[in-house]
A and B are shown apart, each in its own frame.
Chain A
């Protein structure tokens, strides 16, 4: 079965650079969530979209922005990167905002040096 696809899987950036993470949800899934997981920490919700509209927002820095496109894929844009942004970034998708079962992608490991 098709799963959530995230690209790139690994990304190394320097401080103050920008990064773009991409997420391709499971086919027919219309809701996308972004989570950040720092080293040794639990996943933290960043932002979510349903039908291309932002549906919820968590502790996402103002330096970050995201959007969902007409084909339902989503991109997380991160600017002025800081060392503390180094983390695993997971994208999850669900169908029509199913609150219980979100399907997570493999994650993008971002390292800021």
Chain B
């Protein structure tokens, strides 16, 4: 069976510090991978998606970047965090090439102070 792992669950970082959130998927190959941000338990905003290794599409201009160094690994990064980067970050995947439901990770609650 497929599983998605996202870590850490909670992170408190000072303004101006770097960020690295990691997400890995097991039990499938060539998944589509996504990073979403959710503010205060509201709707999800798509930040990045990837259909393959090294292929990243950005949905909104921002202080964050994403990378996919391996087929089932998706990383969200920032060189210098801003207060506005605080939020609940969710990684998700779908089977490659198929329009099916999103499988979400358990999320990372990021607080930038």
Do these two chains really belong together in a complex? Answer: no
